[in-house]
Structure 1
């Protein structure tokens, strides 16, 4: 198998969850060690030996099919981290942001073809793809013929109740017979969700609880929880998600790159290459730090293989941070609202201007800069939605008015406090 596939090789045990027992082998010694581990972990004593697609782009399609062969794509998901990191440990966004429409349609058709070939007659399935950014080659890397971890993310991201719909399809309904509860029955379940916002998922790790564990991400899942944030732009949802991790971050906070500070420029460059080339929980902050230090986006991309579009978005945040440090926060509502629309929290602005969050909050309130609430309705506001599933955003005014979709009433309110992302020792 090794002679046929070559090195590096991907070893994947059969019937294990989260990639347990698998890994990436870069030499023969690692190959034999990981294969043995995989055979021990697999209940059927089987492993798959696959070609390496390290550095390729990774996408997921959440598909629902009924007995009449009606198929819909509930949500497309894009991994910011390139192939080589388990999708449960990757930072992901929905919808996919770097696909052309032609590429999306090819992936959509391939997803539906996979369900038909596997024989998923009803219900939801998750199909994962790898795309070679050099030549566009598309390969199917995994298919889960069930409601999965990604299904939960897709349901939360779109408001489409995949598990509920799948249960009704299993007893004989078809998609066109079921109503979409989110739109109050204005659309059937066969109506593919439309998303006019960006969802970012960031995993939460607990390596501090395991001093002997190596904080390097591989094909075996290591995260213990995750956080999901919603914003009108990728920059906003990314910074909201980073804060939601509850690790003390206020955004793309500064981070020290190990090995920097030598007198030799080549040594510093090697340190940056090592930090960006190694998948770790803090790699995105390492990327931002490298950009702060003047590393070109071309070099950053060559080191980490993250798509240039995401790097440009991060560079935009870094450039705005530098501007805030130099000039302080804007004194007019339009520019301050623009900063808030990029996802900058009061705490982050306070950190950049060396002041307190309360000072920023008072300045914001003085200029009447407040968040508005947008509705998650599966149809991008094409139809009225009675469902109170909302997210806050500091949207820049369009046509002179802010569209606040929250319907304030005098009814009694209930506040439910969430526990944040799962972690070890919570409670």
Structure 2
């Protein structure tokens, strides 16, 4: 803040501060019922009361900071498993984090916990005091990555993947050049540092486009842009375009299946335990989309291609530790969307479904082991794991719960079962909005989605559900021979949808947005469903998974198994 106020650099202020002998001191946080808990906070107004051990084998781990959209407990999972792995390898662990809600900030997770903000100034002060062998930045999400380069320039030894590889993955032009060198398809893209550049790139690539700022958490500021007017509005209203913070522009692959793969790499080789398929189509942020492991609708050739591309990219980037890759499958081609040379929010899910502690193995690799020494093997998974996102819409009832490229979820849950349908049902149940096994389903979808929900509607009818639909959807389903009753929208008179939801006459809502061209806003349908705790679906793909889940539950397939029993079945 001083640097900003005085119009100078942080480095200059730090040099002047330390030159004057103004340095941070640390004191212990009292922990109830625990003597000598190694839990510390800093101050400039007291003597330093924290002793430094003589142990030369010390490693610093940077956590994820406060919980917020895009940066959640999934990264803390990685930090905790890293701390445990380092302890087992004989290292003293120094955790730096500032979130009292997390497990990494429990006094007994690491040998020393510094409860400090994840800023260059604070991390450097601790590093200079403790003098560890190095710092691990790849398990705390985007927050520590954003300061990794500055830390390295200040003399911090960054363990694992190099900061140059991290920057290369974020730099669209350098990353595209690498993909061309590796002969890996990538959706056309560009990076613009001025508004004119952005318009020129858009004209070259063609609409629709996916645009986003660089170096952001959870797709913040990301939008699908359909024409030049929308792009101009985005540049003017949403972001500041500068050479230091350019915007990334990609061709949007409509109706593509999205997939992602997490890899463990040692710099010369990479291991990809599985591929995760997104249930929602491309355009929904990966943190918000429901996902399934193993994939249910991706051909084996595409799964093999994804694993092959992931290995090639990990080796080319010289990744040491974890890496997450995101792909889109369109027109029988696998396209690379982006590479994240760090732990992703899917690591806990992949670890649990595959029975593999990815964060622990990645830590062992960063400490010198190779994949060959660890001896990981590919196996077949006899069960399915479905991840579902948890949203805070019940706390913000006036917010339209539509999903898009900007992340909105604040948590995630996992459903494990022997069938995909039952795993999906269990995941929905874990979000506190269980799917109904009978009753009435409301279907009101946009024109382009009507053919996509036809099979879903037919299956609901076969299950004995009463189907209500609004004008256009009613006409479409009725013409296709499905038993359906018409219900009025709010502007058409009473009784209407709102009355039916309020009176608990509807048990499930399937509603996709009619688009900005629609004369009437139907967001009230989704908002009212949230208010009355009625499950709501906003994409045709999720609707198809929903009916599959209800079918599986109705068949009585449910069987309770411990995680250990599930893992014992993996061969």
Task: Report the TM-score range of the alignment, normalised by the length of the smaller protein.
Answer: 0.5 to 0.7
User: Whose radius of gyration is greater, 1 or 2?
Assistant: 2
Aligned to 2:416: 230
Aligned to 1:84: 283
Asked if 1 retains the 8 angstrom alpha-carbon contact of 2:294 and 2:385, the reply is: yes
Aligned to 1:22: 222
Summarize the Cα distance change of 1:142–1:38 in structure 2 as closer, same or farther, 3 Å threshold. farther
Question: 1:241-390 to 2 correspondence within 5 Å?
Answer: 241-247=427-433, 249-250=435-436, 254-257=440-443, 260-262=469-471, 265-266=474-475, 275-276=511-512, 306=541, 311=544, 315=547, 339-341=555-557, 343=558, 371=560, 375=564, 380-382=569-571
Unaligned runs of 5+ in 2: 1-200, 446-468, 479-485, 490-509, 516-522, 530-537
Alignment RMSD: 3.8
Asked if 2 retains the 8 angstrom alpha-carbon contact of 1:21 and 1:34, the reply is: no
CA shift, 1:118, in A, is 2.4
Q: Does 1:216 align with 2:452?
A: no
CA shift, 1:373, in A, is 5.0
Summarize the Cα distance change of 1:317–1:113 in structure 2 as closer, same or farther, 3 Å threshold. closer
CA shift, 1:225, in A, is 1.3
Asked if 1 retains the 8 angstrom alpha-carbon contact of 2:353 and 2:385, the reply is: yes
SS of the aligned residue for 1:230 comes to strand
> How high is the TM-score relative to the length of structure 1?
0.62
Summarize the Cα distance change of 1:39–1:66 in structure 2 as closer, same or farther, 3 Å threshold. same
Aligned to 2:313: 114
Aligned to 1:365: none
Summarize the Cα distance change of 1:2–1:211 in structure 2 as closer, same or farther, 3 Å threshold. same
Q: Does 1:205 align with 2:394?
A: no
In the aligned structure 1, how far is the partner of 2:405 from the partner of 2:472?
36
Summarize the Cα distance change of 1:71–1:254 in structure 2 as closer, same or farther, 3 Å threshold. farther
Aligned to 2:365: 169
**Can you list the C-alpha shifts for 1:75-132, whole angstroms capped at 9, x where unaligned?**
2100010001001110100111222222211111111111122231x11111111001
107-116 or 23-32, which deviates more: 23-32
CA shift, 1:255, in A, is 4.1
Summarize the Cα distance change of 1:45–1:106 in structure 2 as closer, same or farther, 3 Å threshold. same
CA shift, 1:155, in A, is 1.4
Aligned to 1:46: 246
Asked if 1 retains the 8 angstrom alpha-carbon contact of 2:241 and 2:247, the reply is: no
> How high is the TM-score relative to the length of structure 2?
0.47
CA shift, 1:143, in A, is 1.0
Summarize the Cα distance change of 1:318–1:228 in structure 2 as closer, same or farther, 3 Å threshold. closer
Unaligned runs of 5+ in 1: 179-187, 287-302, 325-338, 344-369, 383-427
CA shift, 1:221, in A, is 0.2
Asked if 1 retains the 8 angstrom alpha-carbon contact of 2:379 and 2:570, the reply is: no
Q: Does 1:33 align with 2:233?
A: yes
In the aligned structure 1, how far is the partner of 2:566 from the partner of 2:372?
18
In the aligned structure 1, how far is the partner of 2:472 from the partner of 2:214?
49
Q: Does 1:156 align with 2:352?
A: yes
Aligned to 1:145: 341
Q: Does 1:126 align with 2:321?
A: no
Query: How many aligned residue pairs are there?
Result: 304
